[in-house]
Homo-oligomer: A and B are copies of this chain.
């Protein structure tokens, strides 16, 4: 019943996808940046790379900006584009599963760019498609090309990533962009300073993963330290919406950040707020830009913005957010050309990443605990699957949406026994033999006995 499914579907294991930024190794990412940089010299000089190739944009929710950026990249590579911006209504109408849709579209295109409201949708698509799949955003899970675009902007402006001092400001709680970016910064060993809007701090699971996987913690600053720091000479602050209500960062010298490399500002994700007020939301304006620690800082933003960056910053050479958006094209050109086999990345070994290995759970009452995971809507074709995150302690996550499995119980398929996940017995089980159980009752119902 159990299997390692990474190569059990129609397509050869050699097909690479970009579902999560973790699908690419560090060497590959830097290789993509080098390729994007070369493309940028003249975006129109690379139409010989993918002539005759077709990219299909399957968008189950509207995101015109992202779609146009991908399509522009494909056209610049000399390829063609199929556009389905209305997939949601289609799908609802005829009731076709995503697994079927991507198998069909694999016959029409050489690459699929997928946007979907459910977490894990892109991983599922990659598993069934017979062409490369690029994740253009799956719910609140990942949006890796946005993250690569952000990283690339830092890299090209600063020439490196390691050791950069990056300030993240605003809604750090609900911004998917920020979460992906912060893990990427940690992975490339940048220093992270968080300046959340009050009530919109980084979620605990992000902090925990930062600690567990990268052994690092962001430097945390608090706008509420205003009282302590007001009037300090080298304090860095953001201009609030209303005058006379300065929300200071913190004393940067105390943080040993003498000069900020980049200030990454986010818009308040008010559509996801649950009562948190984004009134008097932080605002970057002329006063902010006059601060000494921001003398050379890039001001970045994933766009669209509302009021959080004042129009006066648009003409400031440090305000690179429009350049950042434009860099989405060369970076997506590099991704497309790489996945389509049109370019090599010298020095980069394609790593068979852990994220592509699935351990299917047999059909049963253990769905992914994340109710907006794609496995819930695609239950007809897909059974729950996990992948291992760690051995000591034994950690696993949904293979699709990456949410961690919380249950304390695991079983052995061959022994038909179960025990606490933290037990030595559990940690020693072969991955093929492992089964994650929802609770004791489920364990008994599925025929496992307690060790």
Contact = CB atoms under 8 A, between A and B. Distances in A.
Interface of A: 44-45, 47, 51-54, 56, 62, 64-65, 67-69, 71-72, 75-76, 78, 80-87, 89-90, 93-96, 100-101, 103-110, 303-307, 311, 322-323, 325-329, 380-381
Contacts of A108: 68-69, 72, 326, 328-329
A62 B76 contact: no
Number of copies: 3
A273 to B, nearest CB: 15
30 contacts: A44-B53, A44-B110, A47-B51, A52-B76, A62-B89, A62-B93, A64-B87, A64-B90, A67-B84, A68-B105, A68-B108, A71-B82, A72-B108, A75-B80, A75-B82, A80-B81, A83-B83, A95-B304, A96-B303, A100-B304, A100-B305, A103-B325, A104-B325, A107-B322, A107-B325, A107-B327, A107-B328, A107-B329, A108-B328, A311-B381
A403 B52 CA distance: 42
A183 to B, nearest CB: 25
Contacts of A380: 307, 311
Counting chain B CB atoms within 10 Å of each CB, which of A45, A64, A100 scores highest?
A64
Contacts of A106: 322, 326
Contact of A72 (B86, B94, B101, B109): B109
Contacts of A304: 94-96, 100-101
Contacts of A80: 75, 81
A103 to B, nearest CB: 5
A106 B65 CA distance: 11
Nearest to A328: B107
A90 B304 CA distance: 11
Contacts of A90: 62, 64
A284 to B, nearest CB: 15
A440 to B, nearest CB: 30
